[in-house]
């Protein structure tokens, strides 16, 4: 557990409503809203098929199921992955907050500048897929025990299981995970609207 001293600077970002337009710099919204139905009519009008996004990966992907408990809306790390456009899809309608920064975000202290970091409320009836190299923090669940289906690959999964280095970071196996407070001396928090 990290203890915040009284003189630590606290920065806050407010979570935004998720729309395809607002989220476009970071990735795609996985939803049928605004999508054209594909001309697949094997079952008449009983099944509608949509293609909200393509999966981009440099290596075979795997699925992870992640169960999360509600945690403090504090951004401990910002991470990115070179080889995968990672998807986060809630199971059973569990909403979450996603914290992201563009792949080419302006950096300060080796992480995206705080004014480049955004938070989005992701309803339980849609998912997101972030572009390769998009900075992000794992989803903040809005319900205890929420399960999220996440794309990964073996090196990324192994990298996330690595020990933190002396700077409390991970830099290996397609994981570039940087400690926000250690690098800036500030705490970055998310505020719900």
Q: 140-172, pLDDT tens digit by residue?
A: 999 999 899 999 999 999 999 999 999 999 999
Q: Is residue 82 part of a domain?
A: yes
Into how many domains does the chain fold? 1
Listed residue (22, 151, 147) closest to 96, CA to CA: 147
For the segment 107-134, what is each residue's pLDDT rounded down to a tens digit? 999 999 999 999 999 999 999 999 999 9
Q: How confident is the model at residue 8 (pLDDT cuts 50, 70, 90)?
A: confident
Is pLDDT above 60 for 183?
Answer: yes
Q: Is residue 3 part of a domain?
A: no
Q: Is residue 1 part of a domain?
A: no
pTM: 0.89
Q: Are strands 62-68 and 175-179 parallel, antiparallel or unpaired?
A: unpaired
Mean pLDDT, the chain, integer: 92
Q: Is residue 5 part of a domain?
A: no
Q: Is residue 7 part of a domain?
A: no
- pLDDT mean over 168-181: 96
Listed residue (75, 77, 89) closest to 150, CA to CA: 89
Full residue range of the structural domain in which residue 31 is found: 15-40+49-137+146-191
Q: Is residue 8 part of a domain?
A: no
Write the CATH number for 180: 2.60.120
Q: What is each CA distance from 74 to 4, 15, 30, 31, in whole angstroms?
A: 11, 12, 25, 27
Q: Is residue 2 part of a domain?
A: no
Q: Is residue 9 part of a domain?
A: no
């Amino acid at each position: 557990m990290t203890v915040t001293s009284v003189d630590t600077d606290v920065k806050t970002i407010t979570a935004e409503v998720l729309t395809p337009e607002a989220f476009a710099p970071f990735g795609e919204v996985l939803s049928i809203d605004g999508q054209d139905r594909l001309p697949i009519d094997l079952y008449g009008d009983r099944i509608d098929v949509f293609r909200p996004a393509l999966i981009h990966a440099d290596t075979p992907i795997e699925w992870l199921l992640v169960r999360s408990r509600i945690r403090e809306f504090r951004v401990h790390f910002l991470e990115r992955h070179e080889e995968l456009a990672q998807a986060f899809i809630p199971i059973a309608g569990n909403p979450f907050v996603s914290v992201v920064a563009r792949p080419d975000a302006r950096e300060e202290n080796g992480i995206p500048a705080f004014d480049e970091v955004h938070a989005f409320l992701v309803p339980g009836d849609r998912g997101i897929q972030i572009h390769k190299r998009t900075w992000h923090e794992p989803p903040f669940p809005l319900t205890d025990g929420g399960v999220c289906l996440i794309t990964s690959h073996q090196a990324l999964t192994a990298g996330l299981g690595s020990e933190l280095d002396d700077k409390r970071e991970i830099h290996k196996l397609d994981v570039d995970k940087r400690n926000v407070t250690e690098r800036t001396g500030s705490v970055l928090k998310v505020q719900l609207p």
